[in-house]
Every structure is written in structure tokens, then in C-alpha cells.
């Protein structure tokens, strides 16, 4: 490793004021080859030719990460540094490693569901970070409350509202954190449905987390269910678009009994069918 600051990644991610901020590392700027102009003269051939410099990719990836608005407190989060504490976390993490490797824009998304404090947001941020900084994809993280605020501008017909919706539709990977965190009004459901349907029709990947129960097994007294909060239409879109992975932590096995699928089937992958669900308690 030549640079101890960035580990030769070429970028550093800092907490920023509200959102995580990536910067090009001092070992790469000014670029020794092009002086940050993006073009260099290749004089190994005659006549010499002007070539595009690789550092353009680094700058674009950094810009894409910064446009993604990941929360400042998750600025360090990667799949690698996720600390498993129990439950299904190890299996989910391994699943995400494979998912990340095979990912290309438009593939099926993921919905991570389970109790608060099990690391779902960390894992989603780790994926977005990789997609932006390593793959150069456009990403966007949005907390559910903030999403509803953004969508309100569209619903109210405010200037720029359509642009906001359009940007959320067009981004390569959209991550919605804490989906269904509070009950929604009918107009909120309508506009959320519009967003999700448009991404579905455009074949764009969606990531989401929710603290609600997203299984379609038996009800558990006192537990809020995603299907009730987002209604059937959105729920069925989510099932079409995403693999549902249950994330549980160490409290899970000590605490609630019979709340969710058996431990031997902690993650559900692929489209769920009635028959697959038959063996869940
Ligand atoms: Zn460096
Ligand atoms: Zn350069």
C-alpha cells in the first residue's frame, strides 16, 4: 500500500455536515498524469495524441457518491466492516457480498426487514457506497420521512416537484430507509405508488429497509405489518421488484418466539409463493 490515508482507493469518505462526503485523496490530486485537466498527452506514439485520463472516473465516482446523500453517521459503513452480533446477520451479509458482486443496474432489488438496531441501514449504505465509488453508478439514499417531504412537492404541484420525482425515478439505485415508518395518508400512498411503479416500469433497482414485519406468515399480536402500512398494491410491487431478507439480531432468539420464519430459513430469496411459506410458523 502506497497511501496510508486512502489505502490506495484514491478517495476518502468524511462525515460531512449532514451527509457523507467523499473527496479525492491528496495522493491523487493534482493528478500526476494530467494535472486534473482530465487529458494527457501520450507521446509514446507519433504523432503524440491527447488521451482521456483515468482520474476522470475517480472524480465521477466521488461526485456520484456525494449526490447519493448517504447519512453522515454512516460515512464509514461498508459491507466489510459490518459487525455481526447474531441472528441472521452473518447470512445476510454473505448474501449481500454475492449480490454486490453480481449486481448490474436493473437487477432485482432487496428489501431488508427486521427489528430496529440490527444494522439494516449500515448494510444498505455499504451497498450504495460500493455502487457509487467502485462501480460509478448513480445512487440515492432517502429516509422515509424525507421521501414523503420530497414527494409532497410533487403532489402539491410545486415548482421543481416533477424534477424531484423524476430524479428519484432515474437514479440507478434508490434506497428507501425505514419504509412505512409511520402510517401514510391516501395522497402519500398514491405518490409513493407512482414512484415505485415508475421505477418498476423503467426496470430500475430498488433497495429498502423496514422495521415492520414483511413476512406474509401468521400475524403476531402487536406487530405492525408492512402490507398493512403500504397497502396491497405497493406490497405486491415490492415483491415483484425485491428479494425480501429478514435481518435479526441477538435479541431476536432470546426475545420473541414464533414471530417470523424458522431460523433454518432466515433469509427469503426470490419471489415468494404460498408453497414456500407453508413451512413458516
Ligand atoms: Zn491516498
Ligand atoms: Zn488525471
On whether residue 177 sits in a domain, the answer given is yes
Q: Which three cell numbers stand for residue 58?
A: 475517480
Q: Is residue 2 part of a domain?
A: no
CATH assignment at residue 158: 3.40.50.300
Q: How high is the pLDDT of residue 252?
A: 52
The number of the ligand nearest the C-alpha atom of 2 reads: 1
Distance 43 CA to ligand 2 centre (A): 16
The answer as to whether 44 is a domain residue is: no
Could you list which residues have their CB under 5 Å from ion ligand 1?
3, 5-6, 25, 27
Which pLDDT does position 176 carry in this prediction? Answer: 98
Q: What is the pLDDT of residue 156?
A: 85
Is 235 among the domain residues?
A: yes
- Give me the number of domains the chain comprises: 1
Give this prediction's pTM. Answer: 0.86
Return the C-alpha cell found at 53: 485520463
Q: Residue 149 contacts by C-beta under 8 Å, 6 or more apart in sequence?
A: none
Look at the alpha carbons of 162, 165, 168, 170 in this order and tell me if their dihedral is positive or negative: negative
Give the residue numbers spanning the domain of 138. Answer: 76-277
Give the ligand with the smallest distance to the CA of 58.
2
Separation of CA 59 and ligand 1 centre (Å): 14
Q: Which ligand lies nearest to the CA atom of residue 1 in the structure?
A: 1
Give the per-residue pLDDT at 218: 66
> Ligand nearest 26 Cα, by number?
1
Least Cα distance to 207 among 170, 234, 233, 244 occurs for 244
Q: Domain for residue 95, yes or no?
A: yes
Q: What residues does 208 pair with on adjacent strands?
A: 111, 176
Q: Is residue 41 part of a domain?
A: no
Q: Does any domain span residue 5? A: no
pLDDT digit string (tens) for the chain, length 281 residues: 799 999 999 999 999 999 999 999 999 999 999 999 999 999 999 999 999 999 999 999 999 999 999 999 999 999 999 999 999 999 999 999 999 999 999 999 999 999 999 999 999 999 999 999 999 999 999 999 999 999 888 888 888 888 899 999 999 999 999 999 999 999 999 999 999 999 999 999 999 999 999 987 766 777 889 988 998 889 999 999 999 999 999 865 444 444 444 333 444 444 443 344 433 33
Which candidate, 211, 173, 168, places its Cα nearest to that of 192?
Answer: 168
Length reported for the chain: 281
**Centre of ligand 1 from the C-alpha of residue 3, in Å:** 5
Residue 259: inside a domain: yes
Amino acid at each position: 500500500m502506497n497511501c496510508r490515508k486512502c489505502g490506495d482507493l484514491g478517495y476518502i469518505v468524511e462525515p460531512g455536515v449532514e451527509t457523507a462526503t467523499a473527496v479525492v485523496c491528496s495522493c491523487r490530486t493534482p493528478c500526476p498524469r494530467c494535472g486534473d485537466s482530465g487529458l494527457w498527452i501520450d507521446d509514446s506514439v507519433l504523432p503524440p495524441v491527447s488521451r482521456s485520463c483515468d482520474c476522470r472516473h475517480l472524480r465521477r465516482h466521488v461526485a456520484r457518491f456525494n449526490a447519493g446523500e448517504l447519512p453522515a453517521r454512516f460515512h464509514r459503513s461498508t459491507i466489510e466492516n459490518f459487525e455481526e452480533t447474531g441472528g441472521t446477520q452473518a447470512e445476510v451479509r454473505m448474501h449481500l457480498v454475492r449480490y454486490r458482486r453480481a449486481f448490474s443496474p436493473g437487477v432485482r432489488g432487496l428489501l431488508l426487514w427486521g427489528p430496529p438496531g440490527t444494522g439494516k441501514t449500515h448494510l444498505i449504505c455499504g451497498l450504495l457506497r460500493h455502487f457509487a465509488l467502485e462501480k460509478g453508478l448513480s445512487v440515492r439514499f432517502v429516509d422515509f420521512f424525507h421521501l414523503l417531504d420530497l414527494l409532497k412537492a410533487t403532489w402539491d404541484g410545486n415548482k421543481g416537484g416533477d424534477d424531484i420525482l423524476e430524479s428519484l425515478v432515474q437514479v440507478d439505485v434508490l434506497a428507501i430507509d425505514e419504509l412505512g415508518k409511520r402510517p401514510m395518508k391516501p395522497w402519500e400512498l398514491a405518490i409513493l405508488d407512482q414512484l415505485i411503479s415508475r421505477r418498476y416500469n423503467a426496470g430500475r433497482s430498488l433497495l429498502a429497509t423496514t422495521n415492520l414485519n414483511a413476512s406474509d406468515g401468521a400475524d403476531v399480536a402487536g406487530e405492525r405489518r408492512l402490507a398493512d402500512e403500504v397497502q396491497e398494491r405497493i406490497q405486491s410491487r415490492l415483491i415483484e421488484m425485491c428479494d425480501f431478507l429478514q435481518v435479526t439480531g441477538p435479541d431476536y432468539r432470546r426475545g420473541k418466539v414464533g414471530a417470523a420464519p424458522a431460523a433454518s430459513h432466515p433469509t427469503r430469496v426470490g419471489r415468494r409463493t404460498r408453497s414456500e411459506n407453508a413451512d413458516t410458523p
